[in-house]
Amino acid sequence: MTGHDKVFIGGHWRPAVGTDAIDVVNPADEQVIGTVPAGSAADVDAAVDAARSALPGWASTAPSRRAELLMALSGELALRQDRMASLITAEVGTPIGFSRRVQAGLPVTMTQLHAELAADFTFEQRAGNSLVLLEPVGVVGAITPWNYPLYQVVCKVVPALAAGCTVVLKPAELTPLSARLFTECIAAAGIPEGVFNLVTGTGTEAGEALVRHPGVDMVSFTGSTAVGKHIGSVAGAAVKRVALELGGKSANVILPGADLAQAVRANVADVVRNAGQSCNALTRTLVHADDYEEAVRIAVAEIAAFPPGDPADPDCRLGPVASRTQQEKVRDHIRRGLAEGARLVAGGPEVPDGCDKGYYVRPTVFADVTAGMSVAREEIFGPVLSFMRYEDEEDALRMANDSDYGLAGSVWAADEKQAITFARSMACGQVTVNGGAYNPLAPFGGYKQSGVGRELGEHGLMEFLQTKSLQL
């Protein structure tokens, strides 16, 4: 176990003012693997002061130079990729293969792509007789979740730095060790002192202090809709910019004539990815009545290939969820689905066999789910898939859009034009068409209660910029 008692402020590790500590627990065996300081409001004050002091110099740094430093950051992340993957597997419970490819590998690529974007981005534009300047918003308070701890840090910090903003990061309480390793990469890349600052701590103290701080110009938050609403209300009262990436209850619509087996297999893999702890997980599967029972049979057979196991094992495809709280939440959702009349065809609320230690849940499939059931409406954040039956395409679209959320979706069809037409009518921020590949430069964010603003690519960079027009 590694104990830490410092926060990173003004380019240096210094003892936290807060004297409490946070234990970091491995969800696979429930052992404490490290401790970090629970930073206080005084630590946040110091971090914001450092970020404000560094802002003029960083904002005036040439975009090409900022891009060079971010490219160096990508290199430092690459050097520590294996170490980062192992650390995230220990913090989150993500299978090590997925950690290497996605949790630790994708942020390297993301940082490089956004460095290249920053180098080529036009920060000044002409509009008639006006010169429009795109300037950094200022000091950004970034609050990140535990499910993709490094990826979410990169999605916020890298575009903010590229835009010329300075940052104070408050990572999730469950996963602060990967944030510390990221901070090591920041320092090694040569990013100037005070441009990036790290305060570990609880949401109720350090997070709340960061959101309310008058020296913070923008809050970028990823997490639950409930917390996002609170942050939005606080930021609104202060007339402070906010970006919120919140929950989801995404629909996977399989239209008649689509490759049913491929669509269902991809859906199952999506829902067990990271033990279902993905805000954009396709947890509602909508299938035409004629294909419905066959689709359910395919899902039951497919999900059997994902037995829970030790995430450190290279052959493991499904690890534990991230905490005892999350485990109980997911199991309770499964119980509620049963009580409401959903047909259980795989899994269930019982702890998986042989998993008495660790925060494991059974990968679960429900059939005959209807729109009013909690498993059709609430974000579960676990490996739970709900099948819903529709009668025609109009019915399918109505069901897909019948949600408080609107983060992501998916549609499968034999004809791509038909799929695109359907996707255009889906009320969500991102739609995968016939299993289209992930694009790290495409804007990501939601409609309705899934959030405000966008991350990634040019749209994500623009979130951290404000406009000034000079009339010439």
* Pairing of β 451-452 and β 241-245: antiparallel
The answer on pLDDT for 424 being more than 90 is yes
DSSP conformational letter for 131: E
Share of the chain above pLDDT 70, in %: 100
How far is it, in rounded angstroms, from Cα 269 to Cα 252?
Answer: 12
Show which residues are catalytic.
245, 279
**By the 8 A CB rule, do 412 and 431 touch?**
no
Would you say 284 and 388 are in contact if contact means Cβ atoms under 8 Å apart? Answer: yes
pLDDT range class, residue 156, cuts 50, 70, 90: very high
Give 2's pLDDT tier (boundaries 50, 70, 90): confident
How far does Cα 153 stand from its chain's mean position? Answer: 9
Residue 110 has pLDDT above 90, yes or no: yes
Give me the half-sphere count of Cα atoms (radius 13 Å) on the Cβ side of residue 217: 19
Average pLDDT value for the chain: 97
Distances (CA, A) of 381 to 144, 164, 278, 348, 370: 16, 34, 7, 15, 19
Q: Which of 435, 439, 447 is nearest to 401 (CA)?
A: 447
- The tens digit of pLDDT for each residue in 317-335 reads 999 999 999 999 999 999 9
Q: What is the pLDDT of residue 18?
A: 85
Is the Cβ–Cβ distance between 27 and 320 less than 8 Å? Answer: yes
Residue among 340, 454, 256, 97 at smallest CA distance from 465: 454
For the record, the structure tokens of 297 come out as 């049979």
Q: How far apart are the first and last CA of the chain?
A: 62
Round to whole Å and give the CA distance between 165 and 154: 14
Query: Amino acid letter at 372?
Result: G
- Where do the domains of the chain lie, and which CATH numbers do they carry? 2-246+450-471 (3.40.605.10), 251-441 (3.40.309.10)
Q: How many CA atoms lie within 13 A of 154 on its CB side?
A: 31
- Cross-strand pairs, 15: 6
What are the CA-CA distances from residue 266 to residues 252, 282, 283, 346, 437 (Å)? Answer: 10, 10, 12, 17, 12
Average pLDDT for 150-165: 98
Q: CA-CA distance, 168 to 170, in Å (whole number)?
A: 7
Residue 317 CB-half CA count within 13 A: 14
Handedness of CA 320, 325, 326, 330 (dihedral sign): positive
Count CB atoms within 10 A of the CB of residue 320.
28
Left if phi > 0, otherwise alpha if psi is -120 to 50, otherwise beta: which for 272? alpha
Tens digits of residue pLDDT in 230-274: 999 999 999 999 999 999 999 999 999 999 999 999 999 999 999
Give the tens place of pLDDT for each residue, 263-316: 999 999 999 999 999 999 999 999 999 999 999 999 999 999 999 999 999 999
Question: Are the CB atoms for 52 and 187 separated by under 8 Å?
Answer: no
Inform me whether the pLDDT recorded for 1 exceeds 70.
no
Say how far apart CA 393 and CA 423 lie, in whole Å. Answer: 12
pLDDT digits 0-9 by tens, 91-109: 999 999 999 999 999 999 9
Question: DSSP states of 209-255 as a string?
Answer: HHHH-TT--EEEEES-HHHHHHHHHHHHHTT-EEEEE-----EEEE-
The type of residue at 60 is S
Put simply, whether the predicted model's pTM sits higher than 0.95 gets the answer yes
Measured between alpha carbons, how far is 348 from 375 in angstroms, rounded to an integer? 13
